[in-house]
Amino acid sequence: MKQVELINLSKSYEKQTEVLNEINLSIDEGEFFVLVGPSGSGKSTLLRMIAGLEDITSGVLKINEKVVNHLPPKDRDLSMVFQNYALYPHLSVEQNILFGLHAKKVAKKEQQKRLHETADMMGLGSLLKRKPKQLSGGQRQRVALARSVVSECPLCLMDEPLSNLDAKLRAHMRMEIRRLQKRLGLTMVYVTHDQVEAMTMGDRIMVLNEGKIQQVGDPITLYNEPANLFVASFIGSPKMNMGQAKIEDHHLVIENELKIPLDLTELLKITKNKGLTVGMRAEHIFRGEAEETTHLLEVVNVEQLGNETLLTFEIGKELWTAKWLGQWQVSVGNKVPVNISMKNMSFFDSETGELIKAASTPTNQEVVAI
């Protein structure tokens, strides 16, 4: 069942500045749906339109198959967690959590029942009498979540709720929010600019840029088959290696420097496109072993991450990164043997940015279904 449906939804200010342009989207019941994009792409505005905090310029918004364009937020049966948590500083944790239920005139016995169930779930039982200023960032975030959960609304909207937390706590809270969503069966619409959050949390992801949908799909599809150059550069860490390419003397020449032999089959697939941009994931630049070595590349930067090593090479005007599992003792200035194959490259039209051909092999390991 479709919980939220957006039909040709647009938003503009003073009929001039267009923030969102004809957004068409369906979000299923019980789905964790992530809106991701750079700052200014319109993702928070879209979330606020669903919440009823922003007027809709044109188009139709449906919640539970009911048109809600002109319904106030209180009548949309949803909850929202804001980026700054929006806690009342003069109220205790308990009063903050129960504020919405009190406004709805829910019976006090029911309020206390929901409070203690939610506080236990969120680990806030010992903090109920404290004020927000006496809490850490993670604790405030849990209070904001608890206020949303206690409402028992089937639809929960979250606007970058983890952006104020440190990296370790952010990783922990990602897991906690995901577990909470599955446990309660909530439909969650989650806004973030962090593609790692999007990849690790979402059942489906919508990539937004300059008010337009770039691609909608599950995380693995967006990673393996990006619809255009923007998605390819935005999804994945480190980002996809890219370079301008042309065909000369049966070779693919990348950035006027890297030459890769072409066979006739490969040539026929891409020769119709004059302006080519190639993309290659960091894990697809393999260590060259003896006869498998295709190129010798000079290392310009090394990042030792413990479980893996990132090596950076200069390819023309571009910097390409290789990601190798394990710990490699390599120094800047070393020339290392690598294996670069066309089958692991994605090809894009340089003019339109659209994908021409995705890489043949999704990863250097098999995709295993469990």
Helices (H), 152-244: 167-184, 195-201, 219-224, 229-234
CA distance 46 to 9: 9
Q: Name the phi and psi angles at 8, rounded to 5.
A: 50, 45
The C-alpha atoms of residue 5 and residue 80 are separated, in whole angstroms, by 18
The strands making up 335-339's β-sheet, listed across from edge to edge, are 286-287, 335-339, 295-304, 308-315, 318-325
pLDDT in tens, 319-338: 999 999 999 999 999 999 99
* Structure token pair of residue 353: 């940015």
Q: Is the CATH number of domain 2-229 3.40.50.10240?
A: no
Superfamily of domain 239-357: Nucleic acid-binding proteins (2.40.50.140)
Question: What residues contact 294, with CB distance under 8 A and at least 6 apart?
Answer: 260, 288, 338, 339, 340, 341
pLDDT score recorded for residue 364: 43
Assigned token pair, 338 = 């690598």
- Per-residue burial over 64-98, b if 16 or more Cβ lie within 10 Å, else e, is beeebeeeeeeebbbbbbbeebebeeeebbbebbb
Pairing verdict, β 187-192 and 155-159:
parallel
CA distance 124 to 176: 14
Distance CA 228, CA 348 (A): 7
Distance CA 223, CA 215 (A): 11
Q: How many whole angstroms separate alpha carbon 201 and alpha carbon 194?
A: 11
How confident is the model over 181-201, as pLDDT tens digits?
998 899 999 999 999 999 999
Q: Collapsing DSSP states into helix, strand and coil, what is residue 120?
A: helix
Which residues fall within 8 angstroms of residue 178, CB to CB, at 6 or more apart? Answer: 32, 201
Start-end of CATH 2.40.50.140 domains in the chain: 239-357
251 DSSP β-pair partners: 248, 261
pLDDT for 242: 95
**Structural Rg of the chain based on CA atoms:** 25
> Can you tell me whether residue 192 is helix, strand or coil?
strand
Q: Other CB atoms closer than 10 Å to residue 230's CB: what's the count?
A: 18
* Dihedral over alpha carbons 109, 114, 116, 122 (to 10 degrees): -170
Q: Are 297 and 258 in contact (CB under 8 A)?
A: no
Q: Which helix (H) or strand (E) holds 296?
A: strand 295-304
State the pLDDT at residue 154. 92
pTM of the predicted model as reported, rounded to 2 decimal places: 0.89
Domain span(s) for CATH 3.40.50.300 in the chain:
2-229
Separation between Cα atoms, residue 106 and residue 104, nearest integer Å: 6
pLDDT by 10s per residue, the chain, length 370: 789 999 999 999 877 778 999 999 999 999 999 999 998 899 999 999 999 999 999 999 999 999 999 999 989 999 999 888 889 999 999 999 999 888 888 899 999 999 988 888 888 889 999 999 999 888 888 899 889 888 889 999 999 988 877 888 888 888 888 988 998 899 999 999 999 999 999 999 999 999 999 999 999 999 999 999 999 999 998 999 999 998 888 788 999 989 988 766 665 566 555 688 999 999 999 998 878 889 999 999 999 999 999 999 999 999 999 999 999 999 999 999 999 988 899 999 999 999 988 988 554 445 555 5
73 close to 52: Cβ distance less than 8 angstroms: yes
Within 10 A of 325 (CB to CB), how many other CB atoms are there?
A: 12
d(CA 359, CA 370): 24
